[in-house]
Structure 1
Amino acid sequence: MQNSLEGKVAAITGSASGIGLASAEAMVAAGARVVLVDRDEAALTALAEQHGDAVVPLVVDLLDPQQCATLMPQVLDAVGRLDIFHANAGLYIGGDLVDADTSAIDRMMNLNVNVVMKNVHDVLPHMIERGTGDIMVTSSLAAHYPTPWEPVYASSKWAINCFVQTVRRQVFKHGIRVGSVSPGPVISALLDDWPAEKLAEAKAAGSLIEASEVADAVLYMLTRPRHVNIRDMVIMPTHFDL
């Protein structure tokens, strides 16, 4: 699949770490130029030094409505066009609902749902005008199963699953593909709040996957012939019991 995205321009939110970073590196390896969107300026600067002109760092706090609204204009100013948009930025809240901080719920739902909708809304006119484009959203296995240990997070991903499938139906006539990748537990910053013993147990049991393995699935979806749209790909560890 070497150079399968040659000449393409992509933008990925939450690209300083985890699935976003792994997807960015996979796309660069496949020949794309990638706009790295994140609020972590130091991490983006380091990645730009590492990858050179293949990446363009763009520091944006997507939870700031004014900054969020500048995302697409800044992308176009920097690279002139956009072929692929990967809405990947997200937050995680697990545990019992009664124990959740309500301000944390607001923050997570805003980033996981509202920001994705706003970003896709802002990207669509450019892709519609060009008559082509790919929109990819990082969802979750939790979008397909009422996961009892993460009701807030799962609800955000159920909303995104509906959003992806309805928007896809609206825009396929414009030559735009819309899909989501739904990983099970991934070794990433989203699991930082897991107890150390739970994380170690899951790793030993083979119940976690690597971000690079999710990125491989993203790249596969993006490199299908234009008449093929994989609307959702569920990826989970072989030994994950769900």
Structure 2
Amino acid sequence: MTGKLNGKIAAITGAASGIGLATAEALIAEGARVVFVDRDRAALDRLTAQHGDRAVAQVTDLLDAASCDAMVPEILEKVGQIDILHCNAGTYIGGDLTETNAATIDRMLNLNINAVMKNVHAVIPHMAERGTGDIVVTCSVAGHSAIPWEPVYSGSKWAITCFVQTMRRQLNKKGIRVSQVSPGPVISALLADWPEENLRKAKESGSLIEPSEVADSIVFMLTRPRNVTIRDMIVLPTNFDI
């Protein structure tokens, strides 16, 4: 690795697995110190033991209002600054709208949209005071195309695409870059809710990518010169037909 992130401190939500974990490990490899944010304390204990002083555990339940509100202040108390905030935590609902229920919809919208907005809101004063920072949000190709088998998830990601692009315009004069990465299907626990037939076809056709391949894209975005913003990077499996 190049060490282009030496001295940087990143905070990543949903860092105990999937894209969050892959990104955390990629940033550590580039020299960053990473705050692993997740609700799974046992997983965080294992990961911080594995990565030593390059990793810091932050136990936060983003669906708990008080825990979510405390996240940024607690991180700053532990590490002093946040150069990179990667809002990655999310959940998934697939299938027809009539196949889910109101509580599940609320949970997904609160995690995929509300928690992202609150985390970004909380970190802005710190980054604006320092005159620098990067905010990256994990979106999805579903935030660019109306996917018929996942209307709630796709709707949440369209909302995030709008939020990221409006915040990019609000914050670029403060030295804060705001961007998103929009993967296609990634091999992760989120795919457990995919319609079985769609998942089978995706596996057979090679229409899935690894979390590490998304992490590579995020490293590229973060290591551009400060006068360059990668507004959105859509990362698709080559055989994915959408």
The TM-score, its normalising length taken from structure 2, stands at: 0.98
- Where 1:233 maps in the other structure, the secondary structure is strand
Runs of 4 or more consecutive aligned structure 1 residues displaced over 3 Å after TM superposition: 194-201
Percent of aligned pairs sharing the same letter:
65
CA contact (8 A) 2:94 2:195 kept: no
> Quick one: distance in 2 between partners of 1:136 and 1:200?
31
Moved more, 42-51 or 201-210: 201-210
> Quick one: distance in 1 between partners of 2:184 and 2:67?
31
Is residue 75 of structure 1 aligned with residue 102 of structure 2?
no
2:18 aligns with: 18
CA contact (8 A) 2:138 2:181 kept: yes
Using a 3 Å threshold, how does the CA distance of structure 1 residues 196 and 154 change in structure 2: closer, same or farther?
closer
1:129 aligns with: 129
Is residue 50 of structure 1 aligned with residue 50 of structure 2?
yes
Unaligned segments of structure 2, at least 5 residues? none
> Quick one: distance in 1 between partners of 2:127 and 2:21?
24
1:192 aligns with: 192
Deviations 1:100-139 (A, max 9, x none): 1210000000000000000000000000000000000000
Q: Tell me the matched-pair count.
A: 242
Matches within 5 A, 1:36-115: 36-115=36-115
- Where 1:31 maps in the other structure, the secondary structure is coil
The TM-score, its normalising length taken from structure 1, stands at: 0.98
How far is 1:201 from its partner?
Answer: 3.5
2:217 aligns with: 217
CA contact (8 A) 2:105 2:152 kept: yes
Deviations 1:30-58 (A, max 9, x none): 00000000000111000011001000011
1:182 aligns with: 182
- Where 1:58 maps in the other structure, the secondary structure is strand
- Where 1:225 maps in the other structure, the secondary structure is coil
Using a 3 Å threshold, how does the CA distance of structure 1 residues 199 and 147 change in structure 2: closer, same or farther?
closer
